[in-house]
Structure 1
Amino acid sequence: MRPIAFSQPGQFWRGNLHTHSTLSDGVLPPEDVCRRYRAEGYDFLALTDHFIGAYGYPIADTLPFRAPGFTTLLGAELHSGPMRNGELWHILAVGLQPDFAPGHAPDFHVHPGMETGPEIAARAVAAGAFVAIAHPQWSGLTLEDARSVTAAHAVEIYNHGCATGADRADGAALADLLLSEGRRLSVIATDDAHFSEPDHFGGWVMVKAEENTPEALLAALKAGAFYSSQGPDLRDIVLEGDRLQVESSAVVTVIVQGQGTAAQALHGQSMTRADLVLGRCAASPWLRVTVIDAAGRRAWSNPIWR
């Protein structure tokens, strides 16, 4: 058994799904954000400015910045509220149409009559977007909050801007709890770049598709045909009985995680192939793989449902 990212035809395209510009609270105008990512070797970018009234509810028109070998996905970071802690939700929506209707979010404060987070997430999914719960650790998201968002496709497992600016980058714990309750979610790594600090080029997705087009990329994202990374490459994952084979760029650790406390790890030097006996993970209904290179950078597979 191979996960879809390694079994379906196509090639991997590198992209960032969470970025800001001067249309909201970023430092660079949209054309410069796209130029920087293209120059860095990215294949695609989603510019996801804050969708609130104070910024005019922007969905950035990045079509003029597409070029041979580089495409863009329209999107926004949606806000509504409140979460359990009294603050606004942050919902990442990639693949929005330019006419997506604003909710009632005039600013970053809670106001009467707002949609709930789950409602605006469901509305974005119905409009065709790939939707993710953004930076759960940074947001102070509770498990009760996360359970309420039934329409999301993914959770941010890593947010580079939240790492550099707050040391609150993690989404793995929340994602694993939801997976253990049967939620079929994928996990994404993003930059959340504002270019006001070193918050860019630190987390991305590698999407498997036959074409580097918005339509093909969006379909692959929704299908879970991708993995996420800070640096290492995942090249193949094969599940056969009680064994898991992983091929990657050179890493020092390969871990397979499962439900509850289930985990198995293999450590070495410059490993490009690993063969793990599932052991404590053998009974888990889902598995996911993390690899770590010598610099401490990680790559994460999407969950594999057995």
Structure 2
Amino acid sequence: MTIVDPYESVDWETHIQYKANFHTHTTMSDGRLNPHTVVDRYHQLGYDILAITDHNEVTWPWTAFAEMEPSRTTLNRMESAPETMPDNFDFENRDPVALQMVDIQANELSRHHHMGSFFNDHNNTATEEESLDATAAKGGITMLYHPGRYQERNPEYYNLQWYLEVYGNYDHLFGLEVYNQGDRYPNDRHMWDSILTVMMPGRPVWGYSNDDMHTEPHIGRNWNMLILPELNHEQVRLGMENGLSYFIYAPGGHDGPLPPVIEAVKVNNRRATIEITATGYNSVVWKTGGNVVYEGNIINLNELEESYTYVRAKLYGEGKTVAGTQPFGLRR
């Protein structure tokens, strides 16, 4: 057996963990906070990487916020529910360099299955295929958002085969949101495991946890820790594309219990083991196909069924906090 380790290129002793959110809204679409306020809130909570993903609107660069104007949705809401909106729409610029943050050019392509589009300026196409073709042509990368929503609304169309086809056809479609706005759609992870069962170990799909922030209470319950040699756009993109991260869900937000912190992952192909070193956890379970198949911070893969194509670890901490690894491929 060969274990395909997503963290193989990570030096856990020298690389640094950077905090990221990849799904964020402002008054440039249907969010309740102005762009500069959103940046300030995430900066105050120690985020290093932020993608503002307004619906079909690229709210970027941060240094040009002052030149932007609020969306029609925002202006209408200002008339119908002014108590939920800012006092004004005097946008202020923010300098990501001064804030020591990476500002990702992004938007949420929303006329179909919602998806995050990163590192390109494409927006507002009508179908998934058009959006994926266009973002690929512009050198961007994409992530499908909250798949559980579509299991509720249109499961006949957005079935497992649909996901297998789009991931099989588009290499730049790197990830899937597996926690959204707290945990609105637990079926996100059911679909993720179903995809991984078929596509692993040859075609990994990386899992991400995002705030899908629209209002103040949404901020800071979901994030991702990217493990990188340095903080810049190039390294962040490489980390996103290659799964150099683990995801966090903290139900109580930053005022609640701290989630587990993964400090190292050690893969031993000769012994067929994976060992996780972490702090702040009460238990570790290993999952495949949506089922728990092992418990403990060290898994012996020789004890599992030969049919398994991957495993992933889930660490539970105080207050139902969660840290989740990317999937480890099992090649026999």
TM-score tier (shorter): 0.7 to 0.9
Q: Pick closer, same or farther for the CA change 1:2–1:252 going to 2, 3 Å.
A: farther
Return the offset for 1:29: 0.9
Residue of structure 2 aligned with 1:233, choices 255, 261, 280:
261
Aligned partners of 1:249 and 1:144: how far apart in 2?
A: 38
Return the offset for 1:239: 2.8
Residue of structure 2 aligned with 1:36, choices 34, 38, 41:
41
Note the residue ranges of structure 2 that are not aligned, 5 or more in a row. Answer: 64-93, 152-157, 250-258
Q: Which amino acid aligns with 1:73?
A: I
TM-score, length of structure 1 as denominator length: 0.80
Q: Is the 2:58–2:123 Cα contact (8 Å) retained in structure 1? A: no
Higher relative contact order (Cα pairs below 8 Å, separated by 6+ residues): 2
Return the offset for 1:30: 0.7
Which of the two has higher C-alpha Rg? 2
Q: Pick closer, same or farther for the CA change 1:215–1:22 going to 2, 3 Å.
A: same
Runs of 4+ in structure 1 over 6 Å off: none
Structure 1 window deviating more from structure 2 (59-68 vs 23-32): it is 59-68
Return the offset for 1:169: 4.5
Aligned partners of 2:99 and 2:7: how far apart in 1?
A: 24
> C-alpha offsets along residues 17-76 of structure 1, whole Å, 9 cap, x if unaligned?
10000000001111110010001111111100000xxxxx44432244312422211101
Return the offset for 1:138: 2.2
In structure 1, the partner of 2:223 is 204
> C-alpha offsets along residues 189-243 of structure 1, whole Å, 9 cap, x if unaligned?
11100115x2110111111222211221012111111111123211222232333
Aligned partners of 1:281 and 1:59: how far apart in 2?
A: 48
In structure 2, the partner of 1:287 is 311
Aligned partners of 1:101 and 1:250: how far apart in 2?
A: 41
Q: Within the alignment, does 1:62 sit opposite 2:62 as a pair? A: yes
Aligned partners of 2:133 and 2:313: how far apart in 1?
A: 29
Structure 1 window deviating more from structure 2 (57-66 vs 129-138): it is 57-66
Instruction: Tell me the secondary structure at the aligned position of residue 205 of structure 1.
Output: strand
Q: Within the alignment, does 1:14 sit opposite 2:19 as a pair? A: yes
> C-alpha offsets along residues 117-140 of structure 1, whole Å, 9 cap, x if unaligned?
133124323423231110011233
In structure 2, the partner of 1:191 is 211
Structure 1 window deviating more from structure 2 (231-240 vs 180-189): it is 231-240
In structure 2, the partner of 1:263 is 293
Residue of structure 2 aligned with 1:89, choices 103, 113, 126:
113
Return the offset for 1:2: 8.2
Instruction: Tell me the secondary structure at the aligned position of residue 25 of structure 1.
Output: coil
> C-alpha offsets along residues 141-163 of structure 1, whole Å, 9 cap, x if unaligned?
432332232222111111125x3
Q: Within the alignment, does 1:147 sit opposite 2:164 as a pair? A: yes
Q: Is the 2:6–2:327 Cα contact (8 Å) retained in structure 1? A: no
What is the CA RMSD across the aligned residues, in angstroms? Answer: 2.2
Aligned partners of 2:123 and 2:108: how far apart in 1?
A: 13
Q: Pick closer, same or farther for the CA change 1:263–1:156 going to 2, 3 Å.
A: same
TM-score, length of structure 2 as denominator length: 0.74
Residue of structure 1 aligned with 2:146, choices 135, 139, 156:
135
More helix by share: 2
Q: Pick closer, same or farther for the CA change 1:254–1:101 going to 2, 3 Å.
A: closer
Q: Is the 1:257–1:281 Cα contact (8 Å) retained in structure 2? A: no
Q: Which amino acid aligns with 1:275?
A: I
In structure 1, the partner of 2:129 is 118
Identity across the alignment (%): 22
Number of residues of Structure 1 aligned to a counterpart in Structure 2: 269
Q: Is the 1:258–1:281 Cα contact (8 Å) retained in structure 2? A: no
Aligned partners of 2:305 and 2:218: how far apart in 1?
A: 35
**What does 1:239-278 correspond to in 2, within 5 Å?**
239-240=267-268, 241-259=271-289, 261=291, 263-266=293-296, 274-278=297-301
Return the offset for 1:262: 6.0
